[in-house]
Structure 1
């Protein structure tokens, strides 16, 4: 006895009128006769599973003591739990029930599944297989943002990551469990295809032109049987192309819906229509998409030319601001050098020197502040307009074309501002720290009143070796010398 045999027997009982429900740990089979309940208990006993039986009144029984007058019975089987984070399901009935729930389970193990089903956001494997680690999937857009619904309760799935295969060629419908998954996946993908979905009328609407309306299949109708494996693969390929690139999903969805609207008339059944026309509509949508890209490429080139001009203008303005800062710093340094020379060689007023240095520093500070404010303004403008004008550029391309040149120009301005400010600060400190002793001082002290001037030596010194000219006045002495009297001659 195997787990697969027990699962197949329970699914067969559900088809014959029994009711099978399955939780994470318990499989419950109700509406059973005593003989069938004993059979289920025996099958579970061979697998070593715990079994409990209940009658219609809720009284528990052992499987061996079941008596037909107390039928119908319910049998609960305790199945072994799977690894942590893995949902393990025994029956296809339980598998279908869990697929209809909005759960965020990534790893599923299904007893009757013979091949792996690897979707973008989930992995379905048999019980005995090891857990497959999923690689990071695509970032898929929510279908509810593309399909309009006319009802309060949402029927369009919030995500198709569980229903979109990574490799559509791996799908096989020979496996009953795989067919269950394909049925649910096809229904969810059908709801993600039109422009509008009317729940009350059960219609899929494509705006066109021309307008197309298809009938959504009722619950219980086998979509996989109508579509067949080729139709299911076409549906998978179409939705994979639409949601392949998240930012282009809206445009691709519109193109595919428009191509489908051009293929037929209103009132047809959706599975038959898609089986016949979806492949051709997908090819037409891809062609229209290429033409759309060709038309957008010329506009994109014009936008890129304007972008290059804008980046060049911005970097030129930042370079001009950098040159203005350098000029202001050089002027302030020249003024500072003059102030140092004035402080060392003249008796200039310290207050005047401080005032001139403050004015020069203020000029440099205002120039630096204007350049920095302009840089912040340009950065904010780029951030605000990038998602509006240059959304077609990927983040690495935008980084290489716009952000990197702008940062290079900004670095020159920042370095010039920092070094210039440091130079001005050092110059100011040097001016203020020059000791007053290095300056020349003029002695303006008053002369004492009672101090006589020194005698003039030349006025009282008799001339020596001077020649008296014949004329009445000497040649080199404006004051005539008194005559010298020979006292001996006068006596005689």
Structure 2
């Protein structure tokens, strides 16, 4: 009760008595006070059990009993009690306005004069209730923090010296629009700050000089910024504010879609009206229509995107099929070349064993065959590596819409399977050809005992044949006189001597 009384008294002094209030995290300083106002503040702080200090016009510490008109104006400093973690305590409306403009990292904002809580996407505003001693001073209400979304400063073109475009829209977006009460003073103050921030998040550009909101269209639209304050909120009714809330929530609900939605809505806002004017009046008349048109345009763009996606998938399927076919052809060529090289090696070994060809000729021929196989394997593997690099480079540019698992299933696994077949075939074939080359070299340059024996046997056979032929010629030249014919017996040798016919005729009587 005393807390609300103190907060209302300070707000009244700021509005009616020209008191200056400065509120920080831990204290509240009120200056330009009369003696009665200073005494009331000190007495209320005493009832609350808070520390407070008074200073006169000469900046001299003054006790409550010494607060007289002669030493006016007075300055009073109020020390706030300890607060829970991640909590900001606010005592006055001036302090609330200051912290809404500046921002604070705390999620829980406790406000002394707040009667109805208000939840946004990353903050919760509740009343500041002091618990009894021993009850603790914790915050019981849980807040659901929405995930980070696209920053408006990434979509709205603005000069680097201007900070009127919010960095994050989540503090200004309601979780439940039904909680908003335009009759509640704090809700009204918060709505003015939120409206000013959200309107700037919808524009394409902010003029660096006039701070006008520019919507490119076509046609191009320029709106005067809304200069709303806590004392001037009559221009924004509840329906207009909630309409802007819905529009900004639709644009920034998904980081990946925020850019296209922002462009569509800005274009529809520019097309909805005809003349430039104040932002409040223009949006009051056109924000609902522009939002509906932007949603329709977005659905149409999704349809076109779906057609493009199907076409891209077809092109991707064709590309991976061609790539797999080329890898298969490279594998087939490698296997054919390896088979040819092995056949050449076998032929060289056979020729060396049978005819005794020059060993250097056999080794050079097999070396050429091995080098040929190596060139084929190298060219095929270079093609495989090139295709792999191209897939990695083009995937984030052309096929970002595909999830990683789908892309792996549709592209990477078939390509890796064909690469694996080529790699295994190339390794096995190359090893076999190298082994054949070593075998041919060994067979060509070692002395084979078997071949020398065969050569010696062939030479001996030829010499024996020559001796037999010479003896036969000599025997034919000798004449044997026979008086009577010699009978032929079966037990004699079958190799008889053939005599000339003329000699047999002469021996007959």
How high is the TM-score relative to the length of structure 1? 0.77
Q: Would the aligned equivalents of 2:146 and 2:170 in 1 still touch at CA under 8 Å?
A: no
Q: Does structure 1 residue 93 correspond to structure 2 residue 97?
A: no
Q: Does structure 1 residue 322 correspond to structure 2 residue 331?
A: yes
1:301-339 deviation digits (Å, cap 9, x = unpaired): 333322322222222223323333444455556666778
Aligned residue in 1 for 2:83: 82
Query: Unaligned 5+ residue runs, structure 2?
Result: 129-137, 457-466, 472-481, 489-493, 500-509
Aligned residue in 2 for 1:22: 23
SS in 2 for 1:74: strand
1:270-311 deviation digits (Å, cap 9, x = unpaired): 112212221111111111222233334334433332232222
SS in 2 for 1:129: coil
State how far apart, in whole Å, the 1-side matches of 2:302 and 2:411 are.
23
1:210-266 deviation digits (Å, cap 9, x = unpaired): 333322122537675433222222111111212233333333222222222233232
Q: CA 1:239 to 1:477, structure 2 compared with 1: closer, same or farther past 3 Å?
A: same
State how far apart, in whole Å, the 1-side matches of 2:449 and 2:185 are.
109
Q: Does structure 1 residue 230 correspond to structure 2 residue 231?
A: no
1:35 is displaced (CA, Å) by: 2.3
Q: Does structure 1 residue 130 correspond to structure 2 residue 140?
A: yes
Aligned residue in 1 for 2:303: 294
Question: Which of 246, 269, 272 in structure 1 is aligned with 2:255?
Answer: 246
SS in 2 for 1:227: coil
Aligned residue in 2 for 1:488: none
Aligned residue in 1 for 2:188: 179
Q: Would the aligned equivalents of 2:123 and 2:145 in 1 still touch at CA under 8 Å?
A: no
1:392 is displaced (CA, Å) by: 4.8
Question: Which of 180, 190, 206 in structure 2 is aligned with 1:197?
Answer: 206
1:419 is displaced (CA, Å) by: 5.2
Q: Would the aligned equivalents of 1:138 and 1:244 in 2 still touch at CA under 8 Å?
A: no
State how far apart, in whole Å, the 1-side matches of 2:344 and 2:120 are.
74
Q: Would the aligned equivalents of 1:345 and 1:440 in 2 still touch at CA under 8 Å?
A: no
Aligned residue in 1 for 2:377: 368
Aligned residue in 1 for 2:267: 258
Trace 1:408-427 onto structure 2 (pairs within 5 A).
Answer: 408-418=417-427, 420=429
Q: CA 1:476 to 1:308, structure 2 compared with 1: closer, same or farther past 3 Å?
A: closer
1:130 is displaced (CA, Å) by: 3.1
Aligned residue in 1 for 2:154: 145
1:364 is displaced (CA, Å) by: 4.1
1:397-444 deviation digits (Å, cap 9, x = unpaired): 54444444434433444444455556667777888999x999654447
State how far apart, in whole Å, the 2-side matches of 1:6 and 1:343 are.
114
State how far apart, in whole Å, the 1-side matches of 2:411 and 2:232 are.
51
Q: Would the aligned equivalents of 1:187 and 1:223 in 2 still touch at CA under 8 Å?
A: no
Q: CA 1:130 to 1:339, structure 2 compared with 1: closer, same or farther past 3 Å?
A: farther
State how far apart, in whole Å, the 2-side matches of 1:405 and 1:23 are.
63
Q: What's the RMSD between the two structures over aligned residues?
A: 4.1
1:192 is displaced (CA, Å) by: 1.4
State how far apart, in whole Å, the 1-side matches of 2:169 and 2:340 are.
67
Aligned residue in 2 for 1:8: 8
SS in 2 for 1:100: helix
Trace 1:49-128 onto structure 2 (pairs within 5 A).
Answer: 49-101=50-102, 105-112=105-112, 113-127=114-128
Structure 1 range deviating more: 423-432 or 384-393? 423-432
State how far apart, in whole Å, the 1-side matches of 2:433 and 2:180 are.
75
State how far apart, in whole Å, the 1-side matches of 2:257 and 2:421 are.
39
Q: Would the aligned equivalents of 1:151 and 1:198 in 2 still touch at CA under 8 Å?
A: no
Question: Which of 299, 310, 333 in structure 1 is aligned with 2:319?
Answer: 310
State how far apart, in whole Å, the 1-side matches of 2:342 and 2:85 are.
72
Figure out how many residues of one structure are paired with residues of the other and give that number: 461
Query: Unaligned 5+ residue runs, structure 1?
Result: 447-455, 460-467, 481-492
SS in 1 for 2:196: helix
State how far apart, in whole Å, the 1-side matches of 2:437 and 2:143 are.
67
1:370-390 deviation digits (Å, cap 9, x = unpaired): 233223322332343344444
